Chains A and B, each alone.
Chain A
């Protein structure tokens, strides 16, 4: 009963928090478009038609066409599908590995902890674009490899997030009590540590999903991410730059889709953080 009312209170706060509600609505719309892309696209995103090269937006091509006469709207839909897939996959894997590393380091302590956290600090202090490019050099372009690269960038973030609370919980009385009645380390981690960091990790995942989508776009824009002809929002902007003066719609709409998606996830994550952080909520 108590649990239930707590959830209802959070839901109420969420609905009252207009920004996060707007963020949630836009996120759901963008996600639906991405999921439904193959069915709602007016054209085949890869089908070329040289007679319609660089057509400005008009009734039959709402966002115009690109340099091969491909429909930009259909490509934005499919591009969003791939960009979101990359973002969600890398956040999910990064969360599992990163949180694991953070908990293990925090729980075991000692020299291992110092070394792990020091390396993570160094990795974190590097600009994402520079480090991401480094990883992509080794892996080579491709959807799967971009997911790996962004996962690598996300692991230190999640590790740090999981590490700090683990340190505090490790010393808590209830953990000592659990140990004294013979609870195993695994049980302590699952029953006591994970629930404590779950909320914050989930909230930050929403915020970092925006970051991940932006990173995919940046890597593809630099030409080390997902290569054409597969459309992603980033490589569409990149290709469109060459025609910016005569056909700005190619870049502009793809970029707009990135901006709206990232903004929506940021609004949502920001609002969720306000609701879940008791310090801010109390104000």
Chain B
């Protein structure tokens, strides 16, 4: 198991490297010169040149690339090209806001989505199933930002129960939670739609399996068939898919952070984008990539804990 974990981490490294390289190249072929952006429209040519030199932009792409790589190995994301602050500090400040939001969304989705999915699958083609399917498809169709705006309109503007914008004080639990409710609900509801749908189809797939038929044929109580034979096997694909949709949820968190002005990674990314802050942008992308790799890893490992048939070769 430990050997497998290490190997899985090693496999993930090239993925990170590819993402880093793509990001590095993309932000550098993007139009706009950060030195010019930083100095404004009226800066003299000499001043821009001097700043380019100071920021290391006059070096070749290769030198800049290797320098970035070397920094990352030491856990150093470098300094912001715009304000000169160390990016690691900004990341550390933003990360908790994104983490709590995404985690809440995943947990909410699992708690409400799995039971709904299983229930509707077992009562296939009834009224309850019909309603459940339609609602979950509607949830899939909802643009995250639109759901956020509607919730904001209803529960922050019309009925002012929750704050309209901001992330709250991360060190003040009550305040932080108060700010988290609506954004968390937005992501949670969308995740519930995804989880309901795939839980339903996972259970439906299993209903035709031989061992379910055998269990029923030998006269096992339906409740036992479901809890002992069906659900345990259905859990495996559900966990894998929760992993996949957690990545979708990270994309959703960017939208939610913009709607609610939460100071998380998504807001940091869009802010850096507007200022053409290459280094910050790069750091945020790498962090997102790290998340993706981490979620994939956790999903893989969770497989083995649930399904003894999975062997870690």
Interface of chain B residues 112 through 157 with chain A (CB within 8 A): 133-134, 137-138, 140-146, 149-150, 152-153, 157
Complex interface bits, B1-29 against A, C-beta within 8 A gives 1, otherwise 0: 00000000000000100110011001101
**Interface stretch of the complex, out of A27-35, A56-64, A104-112, A259-267:** A259-267
Q: How many residues of B contact A (CB 8 A)?
A: 47
Of chain A, the residue at the smallest CB distance from B154 is A248
Contacting residues, chain B, for A161 (C-beta < 8 A):
none
Q: A134-B26, A262-B141, A267-B137 are in contact. Are A237 and B250 (CB under 8 A)?
A: no
Report the separation of the CA atoms of residues A118 and B23 in the bound assembly, to the nearest whole angstrom.
Answer: 17
Among B152, B254, B269, B270, which residue has the most Cβ atoms of chain A within 10 A?
B254
The answer to whether A217 touches B288, judged by C-beta atoms less than 8 angstroms apart, is no
Contact for B138 among A223, A244, A245, A263, CB less than 8 A:
A263
Q: Does B177 touch A at the CB level, under 8 Å?
A: no
Chain B: minimal CB distance from A183 (Å): 37
Chain B: minimal CB distance from A21 (Å): 14
Q: Does B296 touch A at the CB level, under 8 Å?
A: yes
Q: Does B234 touch A at the CB level, under 8 Å?
A: no
Q: Does A255 touch B at the CB level, under 8 Å?
A: yes
Contacting residues, chain B, for A217 (C-beta < 8 A):
143, 145-146
The answer to whether B142 touches A259, judged by C-beta atoms less than 8 angstroms apart, is yes
Contacting residues, chain B, for A267 (C-beta < 8 A):
137
Interface residues of A (CB under 8 A from B): 19, 119, 122, 125-130, 133-135, 137-138, 140, 210, 214, 217-218, 221-224, 234, 237, 241, 244-245, 248, 251-252, 255, 258-259, 262-263, 266-267, 270, 283
List, sorted by A's number, 14 A–B pairs whose CB atoms are closer than 8 Å: A127-B292, A129-B255, A130-B285, A133-B269, A134-B26, A137-B30, A138-B27, A138-B30, A218-B255, A244-B152, A255-B143, A263-B137, A267-B137, A270-B137
Interface residues of B (CB under 8 A from A): 15, 18-19, 22-23, 26-27, 29-31, 133-134, 137-138, 140-146, 149-150, 152-153, 157, 204, 208, 247-248, 250-252, 254-255, 258-259, 269-270, 273-274, 281, 285, 288-289, 292, 296
